[in-house]
A and B are shown apart, each in its own frame.
Chain A
Amino acid sequence: MAGSSAVLTDDSLLSRLDRVLLRLETFFAMISGIAVFLLMVLAVWSVGGRKFFSSPLAGYVDWIEAAMPFIAIMGIAYTQRQGGHVRMDILIGQLRGRALWAAELLSVVLILALMLALIWGSWAHFDRSFDFSVPMWSRDSSIDIGLPIWPSKLVVPLAFSVMALRLLLQIWGYGRALVLGLEHPVAVPLVQSAAQQAMAEAEHLEGRE
């Protein structure tokens, strides 16, 4: 149900754009991964400071809360590219050919509509906390050490915009497959049977032990 799916590539413009965007997405996802690592270091520092030097880290909670949007949201397009967002494919897994591409197309169009709405909504959320005319441009601050909140609010529309670009490419990819009746379209994650998928996951682990 979860896990990644295969994305095919070739020399077409669509596939090249797919790979260009993938580089940006990977960079965003890497920021998320590094933020997780820093979160760990921060906690160790905080505990160490408190236990051994009785000088707790001021604003520990504020920093974690500020870091969480980077961790939780930056990689959204990367995960969409890999087909990594969970779904129930018991029904869609039975479809073949044009019926499958039509269903996939409908699904990504709906997701794009949601993302566009959320880009607007999350931008408004950011905008309420941001004001050029005040110190640190901040009109919303954290509870402990008064960190401005706008930078972490800005992450959301930013990451969602990359997601919207990804969805546009997928609409193109699925649309093309639907019109041309392709069997193995490029630039979109292909449905794998649960068994294939498990194999792919297992292979991934294989490499690491």
Chain B
Amino acid sequence: MDPIEIGLWVSGGMLLMVVLGMRVAFAAGMAGLVGLIWIFWAKRGMEWDQLGWALTVAIKTAGQVPHSKVSSQTLSLIPTFILIGFLAYYAGLTRALFEAAKRWFAWVPGGLAVSTVFATAGFAAVSGASVATAAVFARIAIPEMLKIGYNKQFAAGVVAAGGTLASLIPPSAILVIYAIIVEQDVGKLLLAGFIPGAFSALIYGLLIVGIAMIWKNVGPPVRGFTWGQRFAALPAALPIVAVVVIIIFFVYNPFGDAWGTPTEGGAVGAFIVFCMALIRGMRWPELKDALLETAKLTVMIFTIIWGVLIYVRFLGFADLPGAFADWISSLAVSPMLILICILLAYAVLGMFMDAIGMLLLTLPVVYPAVMALNGGEFVSAAESTFGMSGPMCAIWFGILVVKMAEFCLITPPIGLNCFVVAGVRPDLSVQDVFRGVMPFFIADAITIALLVAFPSIVLWLPSLAG
């Protein structure tokens, strides 16, 4: 049997195991191991007396992967980004942000909802995890909105949608994972997330203002904050600004040499939030809890990473990504249409799957195909299909798929953010939240369409960084 055929069988088997409920990391690892055995055995003509050899070589090859692949400086960003988010709770940054956003933005129609969106966007700058953001703001923002007569479903929808911003706006674990899988510059990808993230928040805000202007009873504005009160709310939220500035300057300093690597930036940011949390009363029991939770989440992510990379190692021997890329670029359909189909496929897949698992499982095959569509990894902007160089296309596609993955957090039937919001608020059913979040589908669709149509929204900032 030729390697590509083996590749297809094994990939199909893996998807079956995933659908049947095997933990994603181990389904991928198992598929990779079986695939390696098969491919080495096929190389020796599938003779019975060669099976032992194939088994040994495959197991030893797979056994290298966990150590080899996690020993990476770039991947050390992930635990740091997770730790930052946990420490931020203890530093009291959530409430401070919401208070500041309320005093500054609540005067517009639908004001508290707009404030909530901006506060979640701000919190996104210290949190890598969308679900955590939704959970925290469900407790802080929903009661305040209900108090002044907001529609219950709408208030819940705002929080569920706002929570998704955390993975686009750096620090973002999922952007780091994308960068590792496709072997692109992490710093530029993180930079690229800022504007689309802020852009998403803005579109959410505009949508809310629009809704509030059409249906007067949805969300009244809140006025009456003096400038004094506004400025008084800022200092408590300042550490967020410090973290944002640090991470940006470690990746790209508009006034000179950058300060260091993204890894260092993440760590220094975490350290600032850590000091802040110490000042605000965090002690060993809380720190221990934060460290244990960080460890658990980190291990969960890394297990998927090495599991999938065993499968990827097998793909390397089967050369399936190359074959798929050749097939995609040989299709007589417009490349833009293919790209849109790929994004739609992610929307459907994401209805049923976890975002990180989804990206890790699909990117090894899909990414080379997209790059081939654009004209290859090293293509210049002038000769490319989408009008951008290879590395830029990698960044653009990364932001698009991460935005798709975020979108999936609010779509039924398994929109995790909606479940979390409903879980925090006993008076809200999951159906309520799904109903409330519906308008934001439109906002996300508009955002994605604009990012596809105007790649410069994504690429402007990273292109400055050279």
Contact = CB atoms under 8 A, between A and B. Distances in A.
A–B contact (CB under 8 angstroms): yes
Interface of A: 1-2, 4, 26, 29-30, 32-34, 36-37, 39-44, 46-47, 50-51, 61, 64-69, 71-76, 78-79, 82, 84-93, 103, 107, 110-111, 113-114, 117-118, 120-126, 152-153, 155-156, 160, 194-195, 197-202, 204-206, 208-209
Nearest to B140: A209
Contacts of B356: 86
Given A1-B414, A43-B267, A88-B353, A103 B20 contact: yes
Nearest to B413: A90
Contact of A68 (B72, B90, B291, B303): B72
Given A69-B67, A88-B18, A110 B26 contact: yes
A46 B138 CA distance: 38
Given A39-B267, A43-B267, 20 more contacts: A4-B296, A39-B79, A39-B80, A43-B263, A64-B73, A65-B73, A72-B79, A78-B296, A85-B304, A86-B300, A87-B21, A88-B354, A88-B357, A111-B22, A118-B66, A122-B63, A124-B59, A125-B60, A194-B414, A198-B416
A85 B23 contact: yes
13 contacts: A26-B292, A36-B79, A64-B263, A68-B76, A73-B70, A85-B24, A85-B304, A86-B24, A88-B352, A114-B29, A197-B423, A200-B423, A209-B139
B72 A40 contact: no
A195 B67 contact: no
Contact of A88 (B19, B259, B294, B300): B19
Contacts of B30: 110-111, 113-114
A34 to B, nearest CB: 6
B25 A85 contact: yes
B291 A79 contact: no
B271 interface: yes
Contact of B357 (A42, A51, A86, A160): A86
Contacts of A34: 291
Given A32-B298, A86-B304, A46 B67 contact: no
B89 interface: yes
Contact of B26 (A111, A152, A208): A111
A101 B303 CA distance: 24
A205 B75 contact: no
Contacts of A71: 70, 76, 79, 295, 298, 302
Contacts of B267: 39-40, 42-44, 47
Interface stretch (B105-113, B129-137, B397-405): B129-137
B94 A156 contact: no
A90 B21 CA distance: 8
B8 interface: no
Given A40-B267, A79-B303, A201-B423, A73 B66 contact: yes
Contacts of B26: 85, 110-111, 114
B295 A30 contact: yes
B292 A30 contact: yes
B432 interface: no
B71 A125 contact: no
B138 A202 contact: yes
Given A1-B354, A85-B25, A68 B414 contact: no
B419 A47 contact: no
Contacts of A85: 23-26, 300, 303-304
A91 B20 contact: yes
B62 interface: yes
B424 A202 contact: yes
B302 A107 contact: no
B260 A50 contact: yes
A199 B425 CA distance: 9
B198 to A, nearest CB: 25
Contacts of A120: 59-60, 63
Contacts of B135: 201-202, 205
Interface in B278-297: 286, 288-296
Contact of B291 (A36, A46, A121): A36
Given A91-B21, A198-B420, A69 B271 contact: no
B131 A201 contact: yes
A64 B268 CA distance: 15
B54 interface: no
A47 B260 contact: yes
B61 interface: yes
B71 A33 contact: no
Given A114-B30, A198-B416, A40 B83 contact: yes
B423 A202 contact: yes
A205 B89 contact: yes
A201 B136 CA distance: 11
B185 interface: no
Given A40-B80, A68-B76, A121-B64, A90 B414 contact: yes
Interface string B245-287: 0000000000000011001101110110010000000000010
B430 interface: yes
The 9 A-B residue pairs with the shortest CB-CB distance, nearest first, are A121-B63, A33-B291, A43-B267, A92-B21, A198-B423, A72-B302, A75-B299, A198-B419, A33-B295
B296 A40 contact: no
Given A1-B414, A72-B302, A208 B289 contact: yes
